[in-house]
Amino acid sequence: MPRIAGIDIPDNKKVKISLRYLYGVGPTNALAILREAGIDPEKRAKQLTEDEVAAIVAIIDRDILVEGALRRKIQQDVARLRDISSYRGMRHRRSLPVRGQRTQSNARTRKGPRKTVAGKKGVKELGK
């Protein structure tokens, strides 16, 4: 199993798919990396030579934030938004959707399970 940026990528998949197992590498980045390294994207990961793996690792280390460094950067960005009390920071702090989605009828993923509030069910009006 080739090991790139400290992560084992799957052997039996094409290289363009295997690279996506790295956090921060999507379809476009994967193809750009392979184009720069001069590797056929249709090649299987187990067919890569040591030199090809080294070329991929060098390109990723030089150009792209992946895995722990990227996660850390995202956490720092969110913490900065919270600290400056921006609108987005307040939404993050309250665990509400940040990008303008409606919350009256949706947003269950972000808000968590429903919290039922006891209502007026069964209370009869007096004076009638």
Domain spans, the chain: 3-64, 68-111
Q: What is the pLDDT of residue 90?
A: 94
| CATH dotted code for 68-111 | 4.10.910.10
Domains 3-64 and 68-111 share a fold: no
- Whether residue 19 contacts residue 64, with contact meaning beta carbons closer than 8 Å, is answered with no
- pLDDT for 17: 92
- From residue 118, give the alpha-carbon distance in Å to each of 52, 121, 122: 63, 8, 11
What Cα–Cα distance (Å) separates residue 66 from each residue in 8, 50, 54, 58, 59?
14, 21, 16, 13, 12
The domain defined by 3-64 folds into Helicase, Ruva Protein; domain 3 (1.10.8)
pLDDT of amino acid 10:
85
* pLDDT mean for each 10 residues of the chain (128 residues): 75 90 92 93 89 91 90 95 94 92 88 85 64
pLDDT value for 6:
72
